[in-house]
Amino acid sequence: MKCEECSAEVTFEDSNQWCSENQYQRCCNDCYYKIVEETKAEVAKLITANKVVNTEVKKTEDVNCWSCKFQKDNEGSFFGYCHYFAEIGKEPKEIPSLLADKGCEYYGSK
């Protein structure tokens, strides 16, 4: 089989399965660990940015994805999709479970 990231030939034992855009894919271990590290870095960046945003927003305002103007309910996802990206001409992104209750740097009051 071929790695769906780099097209290298891999065996089932030397590959990993991961989910992207609600679709499972197989890739070699090198690509898999690179994807995992990139995802961890992205989530850490959003959580760090959220701490900055939360200190700038009024203390009485509930800052999370549920109260954000960019969050659209469900659309096939438990946490919904962030439509901030649609505002800037990109595809809406599925909201990660780690951010749903914390919000992120793109928070917008309703």
Residue of 81, 76, 83 lying closest to 95 (CA atoms): 81
What pLDDT score does 59 carry? Answer: 46
10 belongs to a structural domain: no
Task: Report if residue 109 sits inside a domain.
Answer: no
Average pLDDT, the chain: 76
Q: And the tokens for 92?
A: 């809406």
Instruction: Grade residue 58 by pLDDT with cuts at 50, 70 and 90.
Output: very low
- The boundaries of the domain holding residue 91 are 15-100
Q: Is the pTM of this model over 0.75?
A: no
CA distance readout (Å), 61 to 21, 56, 102, 108, 109: 31, 11, 12, 11, 9
Rg (CA), the chain: 17
Residue 3 is assigned to a structural domain of this protein = no
The count of domains in the chain is 1
Transcribe 40-72 into DSSP letters: HHHHHHHHHHHHHHHHHS-TTS--SGGGBTTEE
Q: Is residue 21 part of a domain?
A: yes
Residue 56 lies in a domain: yes
Q: Please indicate, yes or no, if residue 106 is contained in any of the structural domains.
A: no
Per-residue pLDDT of 72-110, as tens digits, reads 876 666 778 888 888 888 888 888 888 888 888 888 887
Give pLDDT, residue 61. Answer: 58
